[in-house]
Amino acid sequence: MEKIYENIINEGKKNGKTVETINVELKEAGANFHLNPDGGVANWTEAEMAEGFLPGDPAQPVKHLHDFMRYDTEKAGETMRIQCAEGVYDVTWDVYGHPEKAVRVNG
């Protein structure tokens, strides 16, 4: 968002302008977006919302291989298939819970 749009919105809110008035000013300045007066999500259909976009839901942190390659007595002697940002791996822990190896799995 360019500074000009940010200024229009901030000044409009500060001066008590209505959302409709701010939208007119944004359009005149060449903005390709608008503020939604009812507080909903502008230009999102119910089908798009159902596909996965849920406003307000926090993003989940991405898991990396190093997050799994840690000492864990619960996983002692096990091999688990994990999916992470780097791909799919079979991770093996020794009998004491130390990670021994991670083998990349194709597919």
User: Would you give per-residue pLDDT tens digits along the chain (107 residues)?
Assistant: 457 888 888 888 888 888 888 888 888 888 887 787 765 555 666 776 666 656 666 778 899 999 999 999 999 999 999 999 899 999 999 999 999 999 999 85
3-state SS, residue 91: strand
Q: Is 9 inside any structural domain?
A: yes
CA-only gyration radius of the chain, Å: 25
Query: What residues make up the domain containing 37?
Result: 3-50
d(CA 70, CA 62): 16
Q: Is 57 inside any structural domain?
A: no
List the structure tokens of 3. Answer: 């500074």
Of 24, 40, 33, 39, the residue nearest 2 (C-alpha): 33
Domain count, the chain: 2
Q: Is 59 inside any structural domain?
A: no
87 DSSP assignment: E
39 DSSP assignment: S
Q: What is the pLDDT of residue 77?
A: 94
Sign of CA dihedral 20, 25, 28, 30: negative
Return the bridge partners of 90, or none: 81, 103
User: pTM here?
Assistant: 0.47
Q: What is the pLDDT of residue 10?
A: 84
Whether residue 77 sits in one domain with residue 42 = no
For residue 31, the tally of other CB atoms under 10 A from its CB is: 17
